[in-house]
Amino acid sequence: MKNIKGFNAFVRDFHPSFLEEMVLMGLNSAIRIGTVMVLPGDLVIAQREGVLFVPAHMAEQVVSTAEFVIRKDQFGFEVVRNGRYTTGQIDSQWTDEIKVDFLKWLEQHPELGKMTRAELDKMMSKRTW
């Protein structure tokens, strides 16, 4: 099935005949996927290597943190490659100089979105990654 372009399926030991005498009882209701209870609004992120479930109340935090980490990594790779900063400087709490350079870099890459200094400071203050 992986060779069919655009077809996504995560399958483990089933045959459609189990639905033969079943009736659909609801939409947007809780379901169990493997050993996980998935509620309406939860994010389900699936790749060939596995499936990740994010509860709805954490979705915004997870997505915004992931977007920031992607931007931070792209910035870090570029400035380390150019010799502007060391990996130690990029991978620790940023100085004001690095924060200013990051925001300028973001302005040069509008496809990555915008970020204010307040948003950057907030993201860096709760850094756990």
> What's the average model confidence in pLDDT over 32-37?
87
pLDDT band for position 4 (cuts 50, 70, 90)? confident
Q: Name residue, tokens 């109340």.
A: 57
| Angle subtended at Cα 111 by Cα 122 and Cα 62, rounded to the nearest 5 degrees | 40
The pLDDT of residue 101 is: 96
d(CA 84, CA 76): 10
The pLDDT of residue 33 is: 83
d(CA 35, CA 108): 45
pLDDT averaged over every residue in the chain: 87
